Amino acid sequence: MICKWQVEIAKQQLRLLRTKWPHVPKFTDIRNFADWPLPPVTVIGGGDPCPVRSKAKGSSKSSSPDLSGYFLAVVARLRPRWVVRENVPASDHVHFDAALAALGYGTAIVRLDSAKITGQSRQRDFFVGHYQATRSSLVNLFSHTHDGSGTITPNLKTTQVIPALVTGRTTHHPGDCYIYEAGRLRILDGDEREAFAGFPPGWSAGFSETARALFYGNAIVPQAAQWIAQHIVKSEKERI
């Protein structure tokens, strides 16, 4: 796959994308997408902000907007053959699924937990849509999962699992990860977060510890995205 354009509004994340993909066009606020010269693509993949539906926010109101409708609007405008939308497991997924079906997409939800890849327990739902396909064909494509939901086969016999990485580095944050070392607790450093997130060593070198915590608290595990992509490529090759 070749990346044709990227959308990111956060400054530090945008700086990282510009470092890794300097020649790929960047767009910022998805709410302005109607003014963008977006070229057609075979796959639209991404994840709209999850705090509005994440259990991590507890009973407090999220300051992040729900941008799932804009994700769908971009899909409606470009009508790619494939759509992959990542988000946290949530009760409102049925609405996104119904909207994709109304646009003509067969859909399946693939639930993956990266604990079996890196040791970080990061359960995420991947909505996979295929234009003018049936739901059963997508379930068959992800055939070793039950009704399109499942987990990646573990590659380690035993794994010590840590909670999902958070975006902040605030000491004593109840949702953060700690290591007991030399008689005291400490939070993970940037290199450790990078490893648990499944990225190569040094991927975010040169960025502050605060920025790196933000990156890996937001990031999906790349091996999970790769696993989804491999199935899409397989289907495209069979189509040819």
What are the tens digits of pLDDT across the range 94-129?
899 999 999 999 998 888 888 878 888 888 899 999
How much of the chain is helix, strand and coil, in % rounded to 5?
Answer: 35, 20, 45
Helix ranges (H only) for 154-197 are: 190-196
Identify the band that residue 157 occupies on the pLDDT scale cut at 50, 70 and 90.
Answer: very low
State in words which class domain 6-239 has. Answer: alpha beta
With a cut of 90, say whether residue 44 has pLDDT above it.
yes
Task: Indicate the domain borders of the chain.
Answer: 6-239
What percentage of residues in the chain have a pLDDT greater than 90? 52
With a cut of 90, say whether residue 191 has pLDDT above it.
yes
pLDDT of residue 160: 61
| pLDDT tens for each residue of 47-100 | 998 877 776 655 667 677 889 999 999 999 999 999 999 998 888 888 999 999
Give the closest residue to 162 by CA, choosing from 187, 195, 190, 196: 196
Q: Note whether 198 and 226 are within 8 A (CB).
A: no
Helix ranges (H only) for the chain are: 11-20, 68-78, 93-102, 135-141, 190-196, 209-218, 222-239
Q: Note whether 8 and 26 are within 8 A (CB).
A: yes
Exposure of 169 by Cβ count < 10 A (0-12 exposed, 13-18 middle, 19+ buried)?
Answer: buried
**pLDDT, averaged across the chain:** 85
7: helix, strand or coil = strand
